[in-house]
Structure 1
Amino acid sequence: MNRIDRLTGILTHLQTKRTIKAIELADRFGVSLRTIYRDVRALEETGVPIIGEAGQGYSLVDGYRLPPVMFTKKEALAFIVAEKLVEKNMDEESNTYFKEALIKIKAILKSDEKDLIGRMDDSILVLDSHPISSQKRQSRNFQKVLDAISERKILKTVYSTFEPKTTTQRTLEPVGIYHSFSQWYMIAYCHLRKDYRTFRIDRFEEIQVREETYVLSKHPKLQRFLDKLSEEQKLFQIVIRVQERGLKFLQNMKYNLGYVSEKKVGMETEMIFMNSSLEWFLRSIIHMTDMLRIVEPAELKISLEGLLADIRNTQDSF
């Protein structure tokens, strides 16, 4: 990169955050700190109003080159979600181009929106990403949850669990959200349980963002909860071999089952899944057991035999 391109890049990068340290710019452009110091001085000499604070970094005078296009808070939050989802979905080259484009978009945000993105970045994580179901309830709830986290406001909710089927009213202090197995989840402190709980966002029957606020800093970081969940949750490795005619039935559901990988083995496709519930996995594929065979674990084979026997007995009783 020649110096003119680097100077332009530094100016653009300076507009993406309130303050940026010299070491961050040096890492970003692959040059030494001394080079960054010279480049910043050159920009100052051309009239760019750069403020340098010891131990803090560089910043531009607020409003410098403020463009006519303005973004709302919701649009600024959408940038974070899009960046994290695209990072998991795109190939490396396309992802690089997307990040470069997003830097240019962030550069025209006002200081308040830049601060918002900085606060929210650690509160949104994508563990894996696959096509998200277009459920209206999830979409409606998602924005309310984002608003509550960004404004540190308490949520008043009605939440329904799947198994067992129960509906409860919950008052929550949201810590953050994460995406896994094609669903968005929220980790929050629950006033009802007096502890932290994980909630699937599409299972909220009602969500109200209250005016009462809470102190986000009193809660641990989102990543800490995810590390703990990973340690506590026992995942089973499931290996099945599927006939060619059965693959089409698995394409739209395999990610919800914890899909990991697949490979061709003779005339079959061997697929590997990681799932916390053998029963749930089995009931999800029971309709196509004539097109696949279970390789492991052994207890899943035994459960299949028992489930098929129960089905026969139930049908014979009618």
Structure 2
Amino acid sequence: MNRIDRISAILIQLQSRRVVKASDIAERFDISLRTVYRDVKTLEEAGIPIIGEAGIGYSIMEGYRLPPIMFTREEAVAFLTAEKFVEKMTDESTAAQHRSAMYKIRAILKSAEKDVLESLDSSIEVLKSQVQRRVNNNDHLQNILNAIMHKKVLCMEYMAGYTQEQTQRQVEPVGIFYLDSFWHLIAYCRMRADYRDFRCDRIVSLKESDITFTGKHPTLKAYIAQTAEEKKLETIIIKVQSEMVRFLGEQKYYHGFVSELTLKGETEMTFLTMSVEGFARWFIMFGDVAEIVSPQHLRNKISVLAEKIMQKNEATVLSV
């Protein structure tokens, strides 16, 4: 990205939030803080009313707005791709809101970009796997997000997964996330006096109450990080021959798959797992085309298992 495009993008980023940290700008564009300061100064010299506070960040004076923004062709296609995901992975209310937003986005596109979207519309599709259940048709996601914005207590009937017991709960919503084909609600449950993870497809009914909660809750990101630490999740990094990665299929998600990095002929995969023992037994299935980067005790565990397998099979051969 050249400097002119970067400075324009920084201006758009400054308008996207009330306060933007210099470190966030530097991370986004992979530039130094010194370059950020220089680019911001360029914007100020161009007459943009930027307010900068040491230790806090940058903000634009209230009332200043850019002229209508024109999206690039690549950005427009990204919106179309996102629309496909929203239609299949969220509830009907959220999908309807996104469709409405897409009409507005399409309205300001140039004719050439509109034609591109029309031609690509039938070339992008999101399919659910056979193990993936249909998303609950109730408008839970929008109701939950509205309650989070207004800090309102939610009243809901919830069907527990293990006991199949239906209970009425009053909860203070913290956030939602998507994991293993399901949407989850993290909330402070007043009945249990603790934070709980509610699967949205098990919410029988949900209603926003008139009660406003004032307690301060951790952010969703902080809660997930804390939960991971409490569960003592262990980081495992392995390398697999790139042509063999596809054979791991969906099983990698059941063992805590987090991310992957493509290297020369290999794919480095990172996992967060609660069971090193279980991971070791799974790894043996494809260990001939993979290697363990870390931790060392996983290597030791697999060596022990492999030795036991050899001894058991040697004993079987001798007995025959």
TM-score by length of 1: 0.50
Which gives a bigger RCO, structure 1 or 2 (Cα 8 Å, sep 6+)?
Answer: 1
